[in-house]
Structure 1
Amino acid sequence: MADGTASLGYLGVERSLSGRLWRERPADAEVVRRHQLGLGLSEPLARALASRGVTAEGGVDYLNPTLKALFPDPSSFVDMDLAAKILIDGLIADRPMTVFADYDVDGASSAAQLVRWFRTQGKELPIYVPDRLTEGYGPSPAAFRRIRESGVELVITVDCGAAAYEALACAKEIGLDVVVIDHHLMRDEIPEVAALVNPNRPGCGSGQGVLAAAGVVFVLMAALNREARGRGLFEDRPEPDLRQWLDLAAMGAICDVTQLVGFNRALTTQGLKVMSAWRNPGLKALLEVAKGSGPAGVFHAGFILGPRINAGGRIGRSDLGARLLSTDDPEEAAMLAAELDGLNASRKEVEREILEEAIRVVERESNQEGAALTMVAADGWHPGVIGIVASRLKERYRKPALVIGIDRAANIGKGSGRSQTGVNLGRAVQAAYDEGLLLAGGGHAMAAGLSVRPDTIPDLRAFLNERLADEAQAAAEQDGLDIDALITTGGADRGLYQSFQALAPFGPGNPEPMFAVANARVERPMALRGGHVRVTLTDGSGGRLKAVAWRAEDTEAGRRLLNEGGAIHVAGRLKPDDWQGRESVELEIEDVADPRRVG
């Protein structure tokens, strides 16, 4: 390693205060050299690029990902051409059609894209979003019957439907045609539908399995343009420019925590550029009510806009997000944004209360120790926030987490899980369903949802722990912190931050650069409301670097930061600090190690 401690770990850290091994992110030396020479990059930046699996030939497309270079052939998706034909047939025949969407950001942004495309063709598509509390996730026979009774002949499901076998069988019985656009894992059995487009369906050779549903819909719109062009539909009206809706595709990709690689990376990069113009009335109104500003980035989408769009489906009316993203009326957008902002504030309070109770339950239950996943269940927990709570528990205990809220009156538990790299939670939940332990269940590698009878929860816990044991053990052994570069408090400035932004946007598959500061001393430690810890770091370089550790006050790392004794190693991500126009940076602390306890 660069610091001469390859046998021990980066800076000699084999076990940090959070129990992790620190590693230098591995990179091929020859690829690093070629990135330096061919792209004119500094050694640390060239190393970071190579360590993300970018070949010497792929550097240009990675740093400047374009749709032209990376857009997949729509025909490579099973049923994509068939879906486009069915939808254009429906448009020409003016068939009554409805978009059936999931209630999260990916579902809302997928629905909004389709609504906006059909609007350019003079057809307004209604949106149906199931209520999380009364209808649950995805299509149901009851929902499809209501839709059919209203006169609808064709339904397009987005971000749901691929695993809704019972509902799709019902649709066939009642004469309701269904086109499924989804990305979730599914069984080998393909349901009988008019068309099913899903890069993760068995036999699909598109190679685009990392896409969110919003990305699949964006490719579908390209197929719609091609089909409509071939039918002469654009002879008397302009062909829709799909680039105007890239902001919606990017929202789905970021908020569904998809792998930002290949075409999906280009979709997100170009989508953030489009978003930065804030032409979508809903996104603009939401930014204003949240008091946000500036060019759009992953933070805007994932932490400012996304949670507010999700709030409607979590604790409010499920269709608010889709309505916000599809409206062209600034007044309606402002009204919906204000409602979603208020719901988001309420969601935070509900989430805080459930998280605190969940932690208490976890820490008093002896069956959590040594388990493959952290699993906790209790009466009355709101199903709209348990997914967020699961994410927090995963961060805290560094293993997959599953949170179940039980409704005793209905005799049902609704669960939501979040996983870690190397542990396929969605596959395990699907296996539990196949074993008869669940009423419903599915998802993908990193997230899953389920419904279960309360008296089956102990059996489910045992099944998942056994099923995930090997994967979880392997993941725990690999649970380390990969460092991109060693910096000093004096060298951590806006120039360094900006240079590494060449790798953005960051997310799964393209991690945000992780920097380490060695032998730093803590000055002015302060505990903030919400359990955060703020400090100033200094080292031998003579510089001072502001730093913050989120939700760390009750952790060993947080306690070490609040006690100023002795030097520490710190790892984290650089963030811009523009307070009062200073254009500086601060370190968002990820981990802390004590040099006296390394190895």
Structure 2
Amino acid sequence: MLKVWRWIFRLPPPEAVEVLRREGGFPRLLAVLLANRGLTDPSEAWAFLHPRLTDFADPFEIPDMVEAVKLLSQEIEAGRPIGLYGDYDADGLCGTALLHTFLREIGARTTVLFPHRERDGYGFHAHLLPFFREQGVRLVVTVDCGIAAAEAVAEARRLGLSVIVTDHHELPSRLPPAEAVVTGKRTPRGSPFYDLSGAGMALALVRALRKYLYERGFFNQRPIPNLRRYLDLAALATVADLVPLYGENRLIVFFGLQELSQTERPGLKALKEVAGLNGAVGPEEVSFRLAPRLNAAGRLGEATPAFELLVTEDPTRARELARELNRLNGERQRVEEEVLREARERLLALPEIPPAVVLSGDWPLGVLGLVAGKLAEELYRPVVLLTRKGEILKGSGRSIPEVDLYEAFCRAGKHLLSFGGHPAAGGVKLSPEKKKDFAQALGAAVREILAEKGLRLSDLSPWLELEATARVGELLEPDFLEAFERLGPFGPGNPEPVLALSNFEVRGARLLAEKHLRFTLWQEGAGLSAVGFNLGEKALSLVEEGGVWVAASPVFSEFQGRRYLELRIKDLKRR
């Protein structure tokens, strides 16, 4: 069905576009897209389109990195096992697998632990730490968690455990008392490391450790690990965790997707097989095919099978684990749809949609974030879903671009036992009797945040940001096609461009599977195929009448070994 979008054109300064065209030799449309990404210097634009592995920044610029690699080096040289404590989502799983595989490759021993989402919840938990002591561990490294776990880190020290925290979530008011706190959030905003994912932080730690060990002669009698082979795990996590794709993240995903497309890891090969992937892997394939299957284990049970899949060297075992994750993902989809149906029913009982929607039910914790995301998109409001676990309520929230959810949680924090997250998503814990107070405070916080931006609730509606008008012919120019392919990978921070097209002839308009619109835009002797998923009969009638504007993203598709450009339709409007 057609959704009602506001169209907002984001047009760069004409003089910036002209400089890129004149001095850089870029086609007009590409120059517009580059300028919209802040790439107004021709040499910087060229470097963006032609990244190199040597562009990775020095990981020792991250605070506490020196302390972290020294601690790891001591444990490696002493032959003691190193504890790895990872989060149970795709980011934490991939980061833990990356660190585990590297340490094993250089001869170190590891002991790995993941919390259980239902029993333990997110985070670094003190009650799980005796496990490491029992395994003879003296140093624990967290992956994608721990930044807000001051009490658990203090307990670890009381147990005689040293802790290296690696995390990427927002900084709390005070850092945990760990021996090292390694996070990009301690570097200046805008640095290459600031927006790294949890696995990105693990990769930075591995890069620093390899350099430190190399300078100490550690690899004089053994091979030096090729870190490019680790980029498949880092890229999978970076895309899955929706971090901005610039700086270090762009490099990880640009090169990592190449590695993922041809990976030799038995687990990733098996995962791609059950997901029906046999060609190049891009952000869309990671987001909708691979990451959900990895996440399914931690959402519905133990994360360990997903971790085992990532690190196993046995192809037979990998196929068994991949099939199990595929089954769990199907179950996750069923549970998610049931929770979504119940949440929608609760919404119908509300007299009006509040500034922030807070709902609770007897729901599995593992799917609450997914359902909250769908409701936030439907309602265009921040949404927090809660479920009771013992004596407390736990929940997940998702937001919209206009509202920083973490900031909203901070402003409503006096009603919470704990919270964490980032602008788009977060988690909370609270006492059941505080639910009403929290909902009211969160709504007030949302109003305040909007007011500070000069917005009201009535201003909120989904919008499409269009970057340029385009003609079919210029989209098919060889110079544009070659450079456009290098503009990606697309995602947060480097959004898939949406263009406006008009004054074209519609040819062959039809519905596929009774719901997907397909037709060809014919203009000035050139034709370009377009598809609009789930747009339905109304969209078909609109294009058949003619005289429409199309908002669409150019995408590369493959069919029977042929790679070609087509348009992915976002919206249609009458001229």
Structure 2 length as normaliser, TM-score? 0.90
Which among 306, 331, 345 is matched to residue 360 of structure 1? Answer: 345
Within the alignment, does 1:334 sit opposite 2:319 as a pair?
yes
Shift of 1:439: 2.5
The 1:295–1:40 alpha-carbon spacing in structure 2 relative to 1, beyond 3 Å, is farther
Which among 45, 48, 51 is matched to residue 65 of structure 1? Answer: 51
Corresponding residue for 1:460?
A: 438
Corresponding residue for 2:409?
A: 429
Q: In 1, are the aligned partners of 2:270 and 2:319 still within 8 Å (CA)?
A: yes
Which among 450, 453, 465 is matched to residue 482 of structure 1? Answer: 465
What is the rounded CA distance, in whole Å, between the counterparts of 1:295 and 1:207 in structure 2? 27
Which among 506, 512, 524 is matched to residue 510 of structure 2? Answer: 524
Per-residue deviation, residues 365-389 of structure 1 (Å, max 9, x unmatched): 12424x1x3x242322211111111
The 1:55–1:479 alpha-carbon spacing in structure 2 relative to 1, beyond 3 Å, is farther
Q: Mean Cα displacement is larger for which, 579-588 or 491-500? A: 491-500
The 1:421–1:205 alpha-carbon spacing in structure 2 relative to 1, beyond 3 Å, is closer
Per-residue deviation, residues 444-481 of structure 1 (Å, max 9, x unmatched): 12210112233322211111111122334647569632
> Mapping of 1:380-529 within 5 angstroms?
380-407=362-389, 410-433=390-413, 435=414, 437-472=415-450, 474=453, 476=459, 480-487=463-470, 500-518=484-502, 523-525=509-511
Q: In 2, are the aligned partners of 1:222 and 1:242 still within 8 Å (CA)?
A: yes
Corresponding residue for 1:219?
A: 204
Q: In 2, are the aligned partners of 1:67 and 1:267 still within 8 Å (CA)?
A: no
Per-residue deviation, residues 411-449 of structure 1 (Å, max 9, x unmatched): 43221112233422123224433x1x2232101122101
User: For residue 534 of structure 1, what is the amino acid of its counterpart?
Assistant: H
Per-residue deviation, residues 205-235 of structure 1 (Å, max 9, x unmatched): 9562111011111111121012212332111
Shift of 1:121: 1.7
Unmatched runs of 5 consecutive residues or more in structure 1? 1-15, 553-557
What is the rounded CA distance, in whole Å, between the counterparts of 1:285 and 1:348 in structure 2? 20
The 1:95–1:395 alpha-carbon spacing in structure 2 relative to 1, beyond 3 Å, is same
Shift of 1:270: 1.2
Q: SS of the counterpart of 2:412?
A: helix
What is the rounded CA distance, in whole Å, between the counterparts of 2:522 and 2:106 in structure 1? 65
Per-residue deviation, residues 217-275 of structure 1 (Å, max 9, x unmatched): 11111210122123321111122221110111111211110111122211211111222
Q: SS of the counterpart of 1:157?
A: strand
The 1:90–1:348 alpha-carbon spacing in structure 2 relative to 1, beyond 3 Å, is same
Seq. identity, %: 36
Shift of 1:585: 4.9
What is the rounded CA distance, in whole Å, between the counterparts of 1:400 and 1:537 in structure 2? 36
Corresponding residue for 1:160?
A: 145
Within the alignment, does 1:317 sit opposite 2:297 as a pair?
no
Q: In 1, are the aligned partners of 2:192 and 2:248 still within 8 Å (CA)?
A: no
The 1:364–1:574 alpha-carbon spacing in structure 2 relative to 1, beyond 3 Å, is farther
Shift of 1:40: 3.2
User: For residue 349 of structure 2, what is the amino acid of its counterpart?
Assistant: R
The 1:494–1:295 alpha-carbon spacing in structure 2 relative to 1, beyond 3 Å, is farther
Q: SS of the counterpart of 2:40?
A: coil
Q: Mean Cα displacement is larger for which, 228-237 or 31-40? A: 31-40
Corresponding residue for 1:169?
A: 154
The 1:589–1:395 alpha-carbon spacing in structure 2 relative to 1, beyond 3 Å, is farther
What is the rounded CA distance, in whole Å, between the counterparts of 1:486 and 1:180 in structure 2? 47
What is the rounded CA distance, in whole Å, between the counterparts of 1:440 and 1:518 in structure 2? 51
Q: Mean Cα displacement is larger for which, 338-347 or 389-398? A: 389-398
Q: Mean Cα displacement is larger for which, 294-303 or 564-573? A: 564-573
What is the rounded CA distance, in whole Å, between the counterparts of 2:474 and 2:192 in structure 1? 41
The 1:582–1:76 alpha-carbon spacing in structure 2 relative to 1, beyond 3 Å, is closer
Which among 113, 119, 124 is matched to residue 109 of structure 2? Answer: 124
Shift of 1:569: 3.0
Q: In 1, are the aligned partners of 2:62 and 2:187 still within 8 Å (CA)?
A: no
Per-residue deviation, residues 149-198 of structure 1 (Å, max 9, x unmatched): 34322111000001012211211221121110001112131221111111
Q: Mean Cα displacement is larger for which, 384-393 or 357-366? A: 357-366
Q: In 2, are the aligned partners of 1:77 and 1:205 still within 8 Å (CA)?
A: no
The 1:176–1:382 alpha-carbon spacing in structure 2 relative to 1, beyond 3 Å, is same
Q: Mean Cα displacement is larger for which, 309-318 or 565-574? A: 565-574
Q: In 2, are the aligned partners of 1:78 and 1:204 still within 8 Å (CA)?
A: no
The 1:223–1:160 alpha-carbon spacing in structure 2 relative to 1, beyond 3 Å, is same
Q: How many residues align?
A: 562
Per-residue deviation, residues 331-379 of structure 1 (Å, max 9, x unmatched): 222221111111111111111222232233224312424x1x3x24232
What is the rounded CA distance, in whole Å, between the counterparts of 2:394 and 2:4 in structure 1? 32
User: For residue 163 of structure 1, what is the amino acid of its counterpart?
Assistant: A
The alignment yields a C-alpha RMSD, in angstroms, of 2.8
The 1:526–1:203 alpha-carbon spacing in structure 2 relative to 1, beyond 3 Å, is closer
